[in-house]
Structure 1
Amino acid sequence: MKKNIFLFPLLALLMVACSKVRVAKDLPDLTTPEYRDSVRSAIAWIEQVAKEKADSIRKVDSLRNATGGGPDPDDLRFKKDLLIGYVEVNNRAFKNVTCFLDEEGKPVIDLALMFAPNININAATGKPIITYNRQVTATINNGYLRYVQSKGIKVGMTLLGNHDNAGFRNFRTLAEATDFAQHVAMEVRRLGIDAIDFDDEYSANPSWANSESFTMVVSEIKRLLPDKFVMCYIFGGASASSWNGTRIGDYADVGCSAFYPQTPSPGVAGFPVNKLIASASYTYGGFSNVEQSMASLKSGGYRGVMIFDVRGVAGFTNFFAPYVKGMKGKTLTVVPGCLNATENDDVNVN
């Protein structure tokens, strides 16, 4: 094996570059009156973080490219053969994602998404905000996000409409989209999660809904969270949205199908094939000839597959195993006694 004479200088440079990620102060508690009285400083802080993260990423990427390293293959933004799991935390145990390992004892799920916090209009301000129901709040407060991260799995949350005018198609101006994106970025930083996902369902469709809105929001989210993995369901307003000659796929890291099983067509919502994710579900429908289907996805340049509604019930493991084999080339094992098959409103509360 050839030695890389650039290794030690590169490591030193990367350490310097990564130190730029540090920020001047800790994220403020978003629930206190002190925070609410200092919205301007909080916004300035989140903008500062975004700039420092973007500067650091550019420097690290430049150093890696200069030494022939290329993108970090373990960074979700570049990782291939992704296996993403959605967990319905209203009645499925979020910790179940940690039970699925390969034969070497490594997690097979790259990203676990908490499905789903909502977006709603704040009655006091008239602005859209993220809202958390009892089950989502418990999943967060009981430490399950950190627990899953501690097992080597990236964690994110999906934002879902909730039957009012808070919707990804309902921002009339870039300023409105930016305001919402700043709020989302603060929550992502506060929770310490790795990814954010958008599902344009169940929102109202007011007269001012427009095709530019969704792309504006995603562009601002990615600007403010350059270090986070940004994902979109290709559903609702996603496919038709465009703004200033760009589409959602120009900003988001990946897009996935919203039906099961389904493979999205290259170009949909502006996503090239290498930013597209197929979808399957034990509950709602999976691929036939799974290993062959996963092999075809990979040879066709697709980024991976999303499994909706990861569960602990008997039967899910047999459903899941060929996806692991086909996408990862690994044999699925399950940690003995790990899976929680309980499916009720308190599964993440207790």
Structure 2
Amino acid sequence: MLRKSTLLAAGLIAFLASFGACARNVVFLNNPSPQDVKDIGHYRVKSTGQPFFSDLVLFAANINGSTPNTPVLYYNTEMSAILKDNIDAVRQLQNGGIKVQISYLGNHQNAGWSCNMTSKTATRLGNAMVTDVVKYGLDGINVDDEYSSCSGSASSFYSVLKAIRSNPYFSGKTLSKALWSDSQYFRSPNNAANQLTEGYEMTYGGSVSYLTPYVGYGMSKSSLFLGISPEFSSASQAGSIAQSVASGGYQGVMIWAPNAFLDRAAAEQYYTEIAKAQIGSTESVEYVP
């Protein structure tokens, strides 16, 4: 008769194998070059030949404005180079099954996601984002409520999210949020969990416990990802974090800005350690030209 510990170990292995089949991993590229974008599609899980990443977030476009009620979307040199001059790099990823979102971020000005704006302005801002996502053929919007000189209005924040989700042209697309120190936006009657489709926790402390509050707010485990940064976690540590995410029943991990911290060989090693945790100890990730 098998010992109880052996049965438990076998059960965990079976669970992780099942998780690996459906795990998704998200990557944020910080002010990427067109080649950085193209490279993401070349990292493949060896056993399946499928892309290691399910989603790419282009980081970032900005929300500019001299007052909360005059927000304007702004695309810096890097974002413009991709969206206007190298959109084929995005299409290549999408044709390979990788979704591409764009993140909107405050820009040290008096406008942003949670600035105290009118309902009309919130709707106009949300619709402007959707218009550009449709224009560039992207798969979603990522919310990064930072670096505005005004902030803190849960009502305005919720109104922008609601405008995005209710826009018929946004149907079927992803509305994700950079999660960090934001409990004020997950309280009734303006609970952001009612509008978001996914969330990426960005404390980068390595603890799956950072995801727990969001389940309490109403988000499902299948919509939550734990952030890992190569700046703070080694490849082996990333593997341990990914295993804790899998064991906790969450969707996957988000990797922050590997284009800033990892060359091709280091990226292969980093992603391999995560794939081993998600799929099995013999798995690997390779850059396939």
TM-score, length-normalised on structure 1? 0.66
In structure 1, what is the equivalent of residue 10 of structure 2?
none
Instruction: Choose which of 126, 130, 144 in structure 2 pairs with 1:199.
Output: 144
Contact 2:158 2:192 survives alignment (8 Å): yes
**In 1: Cα distance, 2:149 partner to 2:136 partner:** 28
In structure 2, what is the equivalent of residue 317 of structure 1?
268
Secondary structure (helix, strand or coil) at the match of 1:249 reads helix
Higher helix share: 2
Instruction: Choose which of 268, 285, 289 in structure 2 pairs with 1:332.
Output: 285
Matched, 1:120 2:73: no
Structure 2 counterparts to residues 39-50 of structure 1, below 5 A: none
The structure that has the greater radius of gyration is 1
Q: CA deviation at 1:273?
A: 4.7
Secondary structure (helix, strand or coil) at the match of 2:211 reads coil
Partner deviation per Cα, 1:52-83 (whole Å, 9 max, x = no partner): xxxxxxxxxxxxxxxxxxxxxxxxxxx95220
Q: How many residues are paired up?
A: 254
Structure 1 residues 132, 328: closer, same or farther in 2, change over 3 A? farther
RMSD (Å) for aligned C-alpha atoms: 2.6
**In 2: Cα distance, 1:235 partner to 1:128 partner:** 23
Paired amino acid for 1:235: W
**In 2: Cα distance, 1:286 partner to 1:246 partner:** 38
In structure 2, what is the equivalent of residue 42 of structure 1?
none
Q: CA deviation at 1:293?
A: 3.4
Structure 1 residues 142, 177: closer, same or farther in 2, change over 3 A? same
**In 1: Cα distance, 2:188 partner to 2:119 partner:** 11
In structure 1, what is the equivalent of residue 198 of structure 2?
254
Q: Which runs of no fewer than 5 residues in structure 1 stay unpaired? A: 1-78, 339-350
Contact 2:56 2:101 survives alignment (8 Å): yes
Q: CA deviation at 1:122?
A: 7.4
**In 2: Cα distance, 1:80 partner to 1:202 partner:** 35
In structure 2, what is the equivalent of residue 298 of structure 1?
246
Structure 2 counterparts to residues 209-224 of structure 1, below 5 A: 209-224=152-167
**In 2: Cα distance, 1:320 partner to 1:287 partner:** 8
Contact 1:261 1:278 survives alignment (8 Å): no
In structure 1, what is the equivalent of residue 171 of structure 2?
226
Contact 1:266 1:272 survives alignment (8 Å): no
Percent identity, aligned pairs only, is: 24
Partner deviation per Cα, 1:215-242 (whole Å, 9 max, x = no partner): 2222221222231011101136x32125
**In 2: Cα distance, 1:286 partner to 1:173 partner:** 45
Q: CA deviation at 1:211?
A: 2.5
